[in-house]
Every structure is written in C-alpha cells, then in structure tokens.
C-alpha cells in the first residue's frame, strides 16, 4: 500500500538539491526543492512537510534556519535532517541536533544510505501520525492542545453544556439471542454511524457504556447554538435507526430500536486517572439527560425545557408535561423532539437542516455527504453495464486520488470538498451519452447541488473542474490541475494494465475495435503526445511510473511488430 509524504530539500547548491531529489524520487515521496529558507517559508505555511532536508554547511543563517522551519511548520511531528560535508568537524552537525535536527546526511552522497535514513523517518512519521489520530479519537482537540502546551488539563466548568444520551431498547434480551461476535459487529456498525453524525454536527463523543452512547455539545468546542446542533444530530441518529428498522422488517429480520434524551445545563469537564487517562463530564445535567433518555418511548427523542426554550422556533415538538427525576428527586418539564420546522429543513423535509440553519450553527453550508450519496446512487442505477472503465469504481478512485493530491498540495477543506464533488460528477454525463459527456455532467451538477447548500460561485468552480477533464482543454488553476491529475492518476500506478484492459473492452463495446498493435500505438500516442501531469505532486509521484509504462509498451510494440513481420 502506497503512503505519501511531502519531503522538502533546502539547499543553495542546485546540484545537491537535484541529486538528493533523484535519489528519493518514487516510493510515495513527493520531493520538493527550494534554494533557501526564505523561499521555503511560503511552502511550509501551505503544505504539510513530513521531512525537511537542509544544508547548514553553506547557509549564512546557519542554525537559525532550523528554528525558523520548526516555527512555521504546519506539523508538530515533522523531522529535520541536516546536510554537511563528510570531512566537516562535526560542530555544525552537533549544533544542528541541539536545535532540533534528528540526523545528518554527508556528501559525497551515498544513495543507499540516504534512502535507508529517509525510510526510517518516514516510518516514524506515519507512526506518529497514527498515534495522533488515536489520541484525537480518545480526547477532544482542546484537551490535546492544552496538554501539548502545559502538560496538563485543568478542570473546567461550563454553564450551558448539552448532553446527548442514546440507548437501545431491550438490549439485554437481544444480546442473549446473538453470538458475541455478531453482537459486537452490530454495535460497531451503529456506533460508527453515530460517530459520523456527531462529528458532522461538531459534537464530541465522550464514551459508550455497553449499548449506551454519550456525546456533548458546547463543552469542548466553540461553535454557536450547541442545543440546535445536538437536536440535529439526535434527529439524524433516530431517522437512521428507523430506516434500518424498516429495512429489517421488509427483510423479515430482527431489528433494534433506540431511545434518545437531551438536557442542557452546567457541567464540569476534566481528566481522571493517573495512568490510563479518561476525559469525562460531571454534574446534575448528566443525570437529567440520562433520565430523559430512560423515560422516552421507543424510537423517540425527549428534550428538557432548557433545550426547548432555545430551539422551539426551529423544531416541531410535543409537550410531555412534568417528568419525575428518580434518585435526585423533583421533576422537570420535557418535550418530544419530532422534526425540523419546514422552513428550516432542506427542501422542506424535516430530517436535514437547510443551508441557512447550518450557517447559523457555524457548520459548513455544503452538505457534501448527502450530495455524494445522491450522485453515487444515481451512477449505480443509471450507468450502462457496458461501461467497464468509466464505471462507479473509476469515480470513487478519482475521488480518492483527489483527497491525496489536495493533501499534498495544501488545499484547504472547502476547496477539497469542491474538488471531491467535481470528481463525483465528472463522469456523470455517461448516463446520457458516451461521447462529449462532460457538459451533461455539468448540467447534472448545476441542477442537483443547490439543494445541498452549494452556492452559484462554488458550482461554477466545480463546472470549471469538470470541463477541464476534456482532452482538448488545459486546466486554468491548481484545482483544475488536481482534477486532471486525479482523473489520470492510474497512468503512473502499478495497476495501469488492469485498468487499461477495462478501457479496451469498453471501447470494443462502443464500436472501437483495434488490433494488438493498434492498441499499443493508441496507448503510446496518448501517454507520449497527449497526456501530461500538471501538479508538482503528480509529477513527483506518478511521472516515473508513467515512463515505465511507456518503456514497456515500446518493448511490447517491437515484439508485436517483429512477430507480424515473420508471419
């Protein structure tokens, strides 16, 4: 499996820069080069650089360059390697280590040694990245940031935090009838979906306790209207489980039901434990939210009066009256949460928020997830079966390539979503016709995307990216360049032959039959004369593979030509 990393070489000597780049090219290394730290700063601020290679031998700034790199890097887990002459005294190298460098490269350059060192630090980089991802899954971002700055997390009181509880109905009885592995798989399926939904609405999952799921809003993040965001998440969770239930009934299978409860009030958040840390919240608010969930009828959501007062103008609710709070004593007024009010719901349906409501809550106006779901469902059902290359797998692979190139090129979150959307629609026109399909894909995007919160300006950007995939046109900006490179990413990948065979079969299905020699010539003409990679990332990680394809096709053509001549 390929793993990709940005490596930046900083050296005044163009020969050294070029030699090190040639040594490291391939194997997922996106090797970038600049002549000075000053030239590197804009790159460092825009792109995530995993490994820096800097020549401190000839730099007049010397070791201050390392500090400048560390201060401007987007990543905290990047590695700095210094370059110096083999006969140097070692003082500069030692001082470089003191400033934060992790290793050195000496010249004359030893290619095998350099590759070995880089592979070691690449491995460490990806391990650090994985550890970071695991920590982010365990602790809120705010907690990790405070830990990294102070080494501790002080308990905090929040006056208006929202607690969301879910619980499956009669879970103990269902658990008895399921094998342990099946039970865990079912829980994992549901909780994974809950994680996706709570993340979408900027909630913080705290923990699962058996079949119970707990999340917070307005405690670990600062997005506005936490009570609205929590209600949106609760409705989407409930609707998801209801859809699963309806499917199970239609298939005559057993199904699970859910109860959800929400309350808003004061909370104390903090870290407990001395060896195995755990982030948690405490307070009467937690107990009341739990009581609201336990006192809810199957398939319903109960909210308390403090939440109702804040969300009443956005949601349809039903009063429940005063509900007793067990153990704690007393009672609190509760309501059933039903749906989003029509004027605040996407295309008038009460399950998903409108663009205006999403913006109000500090969420992205783009609902990429549902836009993706709709177009993929259309492609699955409408693409002709004889499209073997331009099938849904190609669309998904292009989207994956776009995510990779956007990351390497330092594209921000919003533009990455626009790129991914363009990828999903770029071959949608094939449902209409085989030739000149891009314009139909653009029309489909323009008619579909406004419903998912895309502005006219964003849709025009997406249309430009789809249009750029026409062979006759050149990309006009970095987004269109990424789109084109992702569309033909396979040209430099090891699976080129597998995909090329699918293309040939598809062309036969549409009346374009070629002999073996004609087919090889067709590929060579496209690879050598028509296609080019545009972004620095694609050139660095795919051009070498593409050149290998060309060499092998040349060998194959010579073989076929010789065989034909001898017949």
Tell me what the mean pLDDT of segment 513-539 comes to: 96
Note whether 387 and 433 are within 8 A (CB). Answer: no
Tell me what the mean pLDDT of segment 174-183 comes to: 81
Query: Which tokens in the block code for residue 31?
Result: 């090797």
> Which of 3-7, 102-106, 416-420 is the most confident on average?
416-420
Sequence-ordered list of residues with C-beta below 8 angstroms from that of 316, at least 6 positions apart, any chain:
338, 339, 340, 341, 350
**Omega cis (within 30) before 409:** no
Helix/strand/coil for 7: strand
- pLDDT computed for residue 104 by the predictor: 85
Over the Cα atoms of the chain, what is R_g? 28
**8-state DSSP, 297:** P
Q: CATH 3.30.70.1230 residue ranges in the chain?
A: 157-360
Q: CATH 1.10.3210.10 residue ranges in the chain?
A: 368-566
Confidence of residue 93 (pLDDT cuts 50, 70, 90): low
Greater model confidence, 487 or 72: 487
Q: Which range among 269-283, 400-414, 493-507, 543-557 shows the weakest confidence by mean pLDDT?
A: 269-283
Residue pLDDT, tens place only, 332-383:
999 999 999 999 987 666 678 988 999 999 998 888 988 999 999 999 999 9
Residue pLDDT, tens place only, 194-223:
999 999 999 999 888 888 999 999 998 889
- pLDDT computed for residue 554 by the predictor: 96
Helix/strand/coil for 327: coil
pLDDT higher than threshold 80 for residue 546: yes
Note whether 12 and 521 are within 8 A (CB). Answer: no
Note whether 206 and 216 are within 8 A (CB). Answer: yes
Sequence-ordered list of residues with C-beta below 8 angstroms from that of 419, at least 6 positions apart, any chain:
402, 406, 411, 465, 479, 482, 483, 486
In terms of CATH, what superfamily is 5-137?
Answer: Response regulator (3.40.50.2300)
Sequence-ordered list of residues with C-beta below 8 angstroms from that of 353, at least 6 positions apart, any chain:
232, 340, 344, 345, 346, 361, 363
- Measured at the CA of 230, the angle between CA 152 and CA 137, to 5 degrees, comes to 40
pLDDT higher than threshold 70 for residue 259: yes
Sequence-ordered list of residues with C-beta below 8 angstroms from that of 252, at least 6 positions apart, any chain:
none
Tell me what the mean pLDDT of segment 165-194 comes to: 87
Sequence-ordered list of residues with C-beta below 8 angstroms from that of 417, at least 6 positions apart, any chain:
364, 366, 368
Sequence-ordered list of residues with C-beta below 8 angstroms from that of 142, at least 6 positions apart, any chain:
220, 221
Whole-angstrom CA distances from 507 to 383, 392, 473, 514 are: 15, 17, 22, 9
**8-state DSSP, 493:** S
Confidence of residue 395 (pLDDT cuts 50, 70, 90): very high
Note whether 170 and 178 are within 8 A (CB). Answer: no
| DSSP string over 21-89 | HHHH-BTTEEEEEESSHHHHHHHHHHS--SEEEEE-SS-SSTTHHHHHHHHH-S-SS-EEEEEEETTS-
Report the distance separating Cα 257 and Cα 170, nearest Å: 8
- pLDDT computed for residue 60 by the predictor: 47
pLDDT higher than threshold 70 for residue 35: yes
Tell me what the mean pLDDT of segment 260-264 comes to: 96
pLDDT higher than threshold 90 for residue 306: yes
Query: Which residue, among 295, 302, 301, 305, has the nearest Cα to 265 in the 3D structure?
Result: 305
Residue 188, judged by CB atoms within 10 A of its CB (0-12, 13-18, 19+), counts as: exposed
- pLDDT computed for residue 503 by the predictor: 96
- pLDDT computed for residue 63 by the predictor: 62
Greater model confidence, 236 or 436: 236
The residue length of the chain stands at: 567
Query: Which residue, among 436, 549, 528, 542, has the nearest Cα to 492 in the 3D structure?
Result: 542
pLDDT higher than threshold 60 for residue 90: no
Residue with tokens 């995939």: 469
Question: Among 3.30.110.30, 3.90.1150.10, 3.90.950.10, 3.30.70.1230, what is the CATH number of 157-360?
Answer: 3.30.70.1230
Residue with tokens 């590929």: 523
- pLDDT computed for residue 201 by the predictor: 94
Question: How does the average pLDDT of the chain come out, rounded?
Answer: 89
- pLDDT computed for residue 86 by the predictor: 60
Report the distance separating Cα 336 and Cα 260, nearest Å: 10
pLDDT > 90: what percent of the chain?
A: 63
Report the distance separating Cα 217 and Cα 198, nearest Å: 9
Between the two ends of the chain, the Cα-to-Cα distance in Å is: 43
What global pTM score does this model have? 0.82
Task: Count Cα neighbours of 365 within 13 Å in the Cβ-side half-sphere.
Answer: 12
Note whether 230 and 217 are within 8 A (CB). Answer: yes
In terms of CATH, what superfamily is 368-566?
Answer: Hypothetical protein af1432 (1.10.3210.10)
Q: Which range among 68-77, 305-314, 521-530 shows the weakest confidence by mean pLDDT?
A: 68-77
């Amino acid at each position: 499996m390929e793993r990709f990393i940005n490596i930046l070489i900083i050296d005044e000597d163009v020969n050294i820069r070029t030699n090190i780049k040639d040594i490291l090219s391939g194997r997922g290394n996106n090797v970038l080069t600049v002549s000075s730290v000053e030239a590197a700063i804009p790159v460092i601020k825009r792109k995530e650089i995993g490994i820096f290679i800097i020549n401190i031998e000839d730099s007049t700034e010397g070791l201050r360059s390392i500090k400048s790199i560390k201060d401007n890097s987007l990543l905290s887990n990047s590695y700095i390697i210094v370059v110096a002459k083999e006969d140097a005294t070692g003082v500069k190298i030692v001082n470089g280590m003191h400033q934060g460098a992790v290793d050195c490269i000496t010249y004359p350059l030893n290619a095998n040694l350099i590759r070995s060192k880089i592979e070691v630090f690449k491995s460490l980089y990806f391990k650090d990245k994985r550890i970071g991802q695991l920590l982010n899954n365990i602790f809120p971002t705010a907690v990790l940031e405070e830990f990294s700055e102070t080494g501790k997390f002080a308990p905090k009181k929040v006056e208006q935090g929202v607690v969301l509880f879910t619980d499956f109905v009669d879970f103990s009885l269902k658990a008895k009838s399921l094998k342990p592995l099946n039970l865990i798989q079912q829980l994992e399926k549901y909780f994974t979906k809950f994680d996706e939904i709570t993340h979408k609405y900027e909630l913080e999952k705290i923990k699962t306790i058996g079949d119970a799921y707990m999340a917070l809003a307005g405690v670990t993040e600062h997005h506005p209207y936490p009570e609205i965001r929590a209600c949106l998440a609760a409705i989407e969770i409930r609707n998801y489980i209801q859809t699963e239930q309806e499917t199970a009934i239609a298939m005559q299978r057993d199904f699970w039901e859910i109860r959800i409860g929400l309350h808003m009030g004061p909370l104390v958040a903090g870290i407990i434990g001395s060896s195995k840390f755990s982030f948690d919240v405490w307070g009467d608010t937690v107990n009341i939210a739990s009581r609201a969930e336990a006192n809810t009828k199957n398939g319903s959501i109960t909210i308390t009066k403090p939440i109702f007062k804040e969300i009443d103008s956005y949601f349809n609710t039903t009063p429940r009256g005063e509900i007793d709070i067990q153990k704690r004593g007393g009672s609190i007024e509760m309501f059933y949460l039903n749906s989003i009010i029509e004027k605040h719901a996407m295309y008038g349906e009460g399950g998903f928020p409108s663009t205006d409501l999403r913006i109000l809550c500090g969420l992205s106006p783009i609902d990429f997830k549902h836009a993706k779901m709709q177009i993929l469902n259309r492609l699955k059902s409408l693409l002709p079966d004889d499209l073997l290359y331009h099938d849904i797998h190609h669309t998904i692979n292009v989207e994956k390539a776009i995510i990779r190139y956007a990351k390497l090129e330092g594209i921000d979150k919003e533009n990455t979503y626009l790129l991914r959307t363009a990828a999903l629609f770029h071959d949608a026109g094939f449902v209409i016709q085989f030739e000149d399909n891009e314009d139909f894909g653009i029309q489909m995007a323009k008619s579909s995307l406004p419903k998912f919160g895309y502005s006219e300006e964003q849709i025009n950007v997406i249309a430009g990216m789809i249009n750029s995939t026409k062979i006759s046109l050149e990309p006009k900006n970095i987004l269109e360049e990424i789109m084109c490179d992702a569309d033909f990413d396979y040209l430099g990948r090891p699976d080129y032959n597998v995909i090329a065979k699918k293309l040939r079969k598809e062309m036969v299905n549409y009346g374009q039959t070629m002999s073996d020699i004609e087919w090889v010539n067709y590929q060579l003409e496209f690879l050598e004369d028509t296609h080019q990679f545009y972004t620095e990332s694609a050139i660095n990680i795919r051009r070498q593979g593409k050149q290998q394809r060309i060499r092998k096709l040349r060998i194959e053509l010579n073989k076929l030509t010789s065989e034909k001549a001898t017949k």
